[in-house]
Structure 1
Amino acid sequence: MAEPWLRGPIAGMPAMVMPAAHALMQAAEDIPMAAEGLTTAQLWALPGGAAAVGFHLRHLAGSIDRLLTYENGKMLSDAQTVELDAEIEDDGRDADQLARDAVTAIGRAIEAMRVTPPGTYLDSRGVGRRKLPTTVLGLLVHIAEHTQRHVGGIVATAKVVRARS
Structure 2
Amino acid sequence: MKTQPEVWLRGPVTGFSSALQPVVHAILQAQEEIHQLTKDFPSELLWKRPAGMASPGFHLQHITGVLDRMVTYAKAETLAQQQFDYLKNEGLANKDLTKEILVGNLDDQITEFLDFLSVLDVNTLPDFRGVGRAQLPSTVGGLLFHAAEHTQRHVGQLLVTVRVLLATN
How high is the TM-score relative to the length of structure 1?
0.95
Q: Equivalent residue for 2:20?
A: 17
Q: Deviations over 1:24-83 (max 9, x none)?
A: 110010111212243343111111111000000011101111111101000001111011
Judge which range, 88-97 or 130-139, deviates more: 88-97
Write out aligned runs for 1:9-158 (5 A): 9-91=12-94, 92-158=96-162
Q: Equivalent residue for 2:5?
A: 2
Deviation, 1:88, is: 1.6
Q: Deviations over 1:11-34 (max 9, x none)?
A: 121111101110111001011121
Q: What is the distance in 2 between the residues matched to 1:163 and 1:110? A: 34
Deviation, 1:105, is: 1.3
Q: Deviations over 1:87-123 (max 9, x none)?
A: 1212321112211211221222222222110111111
CA RMSD of aligned residues (A): 1.2
Instruction: Tell me, yes or no, if structure 1 residue 160 matches structure 2 residue 164.
Output: yes
State the number of aligned residues.
165
Judge which range, 136-145 or 110-119, deviates more: 110-119
Q: What is the distance in 2 between the residues matched to 1:115 and 1:90? A: 36
Q: What is the distance in 2 between the residues matched to 1:84 and 1:59? A: 8
Deviation, 1:140, is: 0.8
Q: What is the distance in 2 between the residues matched to 1:110 and 1:79? A: 21
Q: What is the distance in 2 between the residues matched to 1:135 and 1:103? A: 25
Q: What is the distance in 2 between the residues matched to 1:64 and 1:143? A: 6
How high is the TM-score relative to the length of structure 2?
0.93
Answer yes or no: is the 8 Å Cα contact 1:71–1:139 preserved in 2.
yes
- One-letter amino acid of the structure 1 residue matched with residue 118 of structure 2: R
- Name the structure, 1 or 2, with higher relative contact order (CA <8 Å, separation 6+): 1
- Identity score, percent: 38
Answer yes or no: is the 8 Å Cα contact 1:123–1:136 preserved in 2.
yes
Unaligned runs of 5+ in 2: none
Paired residue secondary structure (1:30): helix
- One-letter amino acid of the structure 1 residue matched with residue 150 of structure 2: H
